[in-house]
């Protein structure tokens, strides 16, 4: 048990320092192996790598196709077209709502979080300038739209955080829709009202919009594709996945093909977009696979049985222990998919067995795992948070407090609330 705890501390500390989980995870796994009585080399070559390769084998196509889909949406201008149209529809007087909705629509349509940041930031800058709102609220607004309810809560979202639990609980992307919708309302509503309150508070203090030092990303193109045509690939992925029940791989391929057909005049640029998307997906899948490999080693040491007893011994609804495990590990790794991967690789079979024997549906375990992955993952060392702050030219000191409220605190509250409703038999 102490070895597992020490391994987690090493993983969290090094990740927080900004070191890549690709080599941090094997080191942390080595700590767990040594203190757990395993042969270090054997644990790395076999146990760790089996977990690593197993996850990559199952999920690399989804990571790759998702990254390519997002990159094509970005490079063809379709992502920007959707964001521009929505922000114009909502208007500059509701700048926060416009940015929030734009980020949410793109994320729910299957565009990766990182692409959403790049697509929405120039529009956020323009809207906040016109509304004269403090620029420090831009990161939290984008995070609320992209990193929270559309990533983990809304039924049918094609984001990986909603897809990973399917394998462990034999469910689909629409699992526990009532639970997901309630959590989404809490996240979106609570986050929006908090940001409006912050806007009024900052304005009252005399803090208004200030131009960023580097304004390179503020230009938008007048040659963007038609808004309605740009929506079609997003709707195609959502509808084929959830209504036609296609496999996520087939759904993403259909979206990719449609983007290319609708932008056939840009055919010369497709190779670059495909190469860039595929290349970017490699880092993403390796990061998550490295975290899952760590979970495999944890599962192999004797102390894991004691850890399982402690988690399973948490009184009340077993969904509570699942939420704790996923949240803690997501926070330790700074990754929603990585933390959930570790937790479900180690404990997924136990929770599925409980679901079959307790009367609580596997769908509820799926949704709670997904929701919990989007809580403590957004601590300061999270990769998406770091990217968001870098792109917006703001620091943790400037904006992290607001990111914490909308992307950590409120999502955790939403999980607590839906588990409470489940415990009372309402859900």
CB atoms within 10 A of CB 83: 28
- How does residue 192 score in pLDDT terms, banded at 50, 70 and 90? very high
Answer yes or no: are the C-beta atoms of 148 and 195 closer than 8 Å: no
Reported pTM: 0.84
275 Cβ neighbours under 8 A, 6+ residues apart:
none
pLDDT recorded at residue 221: 53
203 Cβ neighbours under 8 A, 6+ residues apart:
132, 133, 134
373 Cβ neighbours under 8 A, 6+ residues apart:
152, 161, 326, 327, 330, 336, 337, 339, 340
CA distance 231 to 259: 10
pLDDT mean over 186-196: 98
Residue 154, token pair as written in the block: 């809304």
CA distance 133 to 196: 10
CA 30, 160, 252, 272: dihedral to nearest 10 degrees?
-60
pLDDT tops 60 at residue 219: no
Q: Render 335-397 in DSSP notation, one character per residue.
A: -HHHHHHHHHHHHHHHHHHHHHHHS--HHHHHHHHHHHHTSGGGSTT-HHHHHHHHHHT--HH
Distance set, CA 418 to CA 258, 319, 340, 412 (Å):
37, 10, 18, 10
Under the phi-then-psi rule, with left for phi > 0, alpha for psi from -120 to 50, and beta for the rest, what region is 7? alpha
Q: What is the pLDDT of residues 361-403, one digit of tens each?
A: 999 999 999 999 999 999 877 878 878 888 888 888 899 999 9
pLDDT recorded at residue 50: 94
Q: What is the pLDDT of residues 74-120, one digit of tens each?
A: 899 998 899 888 888 888 789 999 999 999 999 999 998 878 888 88
Element (H, E) at 24: helix 21-35
Surface-to-core class of residue 43, CB atoms within 10 Å of its CB (0-12 exposed, 13-18 middle, 19+ buried): buried
344 Cβ neighbours under 8 A, 6+ residues apart:
164, 165, 168, 326, 351, 369
pLDDT recorded at residue 218: 45
CA distance 344 to 309: 16
Average pLDDT, the chain: 90
pLDDT tops 60 at residue 224: yes
pLDDT recorded at residue 146: 95
Q: What is the pLDDT of residues 132-175, one digit of tens each?
A: 999 999 999 999 999 999 999 999 999 999 999 999 999 999 99
CB atoms within 10 A of CB 348: 21
pLDDT recorded at residue 112: 85
Least confident of 176-180, 306-310, 317-321, 365-369: 306-310
CB atoms within 10 A of CB 118: 16
């Amino acid at each position: 048990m102490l070895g597992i705890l020490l391994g987690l501390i090493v993983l969290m500390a090094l990740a927080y320092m900004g070191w890549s989980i690709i080599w941090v995870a094997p080191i942390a796994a080595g700590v767990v192996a040594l203190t757990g009585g395993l042969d270090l080399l054997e644990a790395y070559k076999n146990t760790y790598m089996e977990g690593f390769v197993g996850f990559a084998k199952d999920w690399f196509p989804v990571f790759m196709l998702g990254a390519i889909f997002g990159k094509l949406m970005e490079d063809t201008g379709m992502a920007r077209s959707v964001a521009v149209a929505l922000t114009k529809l909502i208007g500059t007087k509701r700048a926060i709502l416009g940015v929030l909705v734009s980020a949410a629509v793109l994320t729910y349509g299957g565009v990766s979080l990182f692409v959403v940041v790049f697509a929405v930031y120039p529009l956020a800058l323009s809207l906040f300038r016109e509304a004269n709102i403090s620029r420090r609220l831009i990161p939290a607004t984008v995070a609320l739209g992209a990193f929270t309810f559309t990533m983990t809560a809304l039924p049918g979202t094609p984001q990986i955080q909603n897809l990973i639990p399917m394998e462990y609980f034999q469910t689909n992307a629409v699992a526990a829709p009532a639970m997901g919708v309630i959590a989404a309302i809490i996240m979106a509503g609570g986050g929006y009202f908090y940001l409006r309150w912050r806007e009024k508070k900052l304005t009252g203090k005399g803090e208004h919009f200030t131009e960023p030092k580097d304004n390179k990303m503020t230009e938008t193109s007048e040659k963007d594709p038609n808004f309605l045509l740009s929506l079609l690939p997003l709707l195609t992925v959502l509808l084929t996945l959830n209504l036609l029940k296609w496999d996520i791989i087939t759904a993403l391929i259909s979206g990719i093909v449609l983007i290319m057909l609708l932008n056939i005049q840009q055919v010369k640029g497709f190779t670059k977009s495909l190469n860039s998307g595929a290349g970017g997906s490699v880092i993403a899948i390796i990061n998550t696979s490295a975290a899952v490999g760590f979970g495999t080693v944890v599962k192999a040491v004797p102390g894991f049985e004691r850890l399982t007893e402690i988690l399973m011994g948490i009184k009340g609804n077993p969904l509570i222990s699942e939420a704790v495990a996923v949240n803690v590990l997501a926070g330790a790794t700074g990754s929603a998919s990585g933390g959930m991967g570790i937790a479900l690789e180690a404990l997924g079979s136990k929770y599925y067995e409980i679901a079959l024997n307790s009367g609580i549906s596997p769908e509820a375990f799926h949704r709670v795992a997904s929701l919990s992955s989007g809580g403590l993952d957004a601590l300061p060392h999270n990769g998406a948070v770091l990217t968001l702050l870098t792109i917006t030219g703001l620091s943790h000191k400037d904006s992290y407090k607001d990111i914490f409220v909308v992307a950590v605190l409120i999502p955790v509250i939403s999980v607590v609330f839906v588990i409470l409703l489940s415990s009372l038999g309402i859900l």
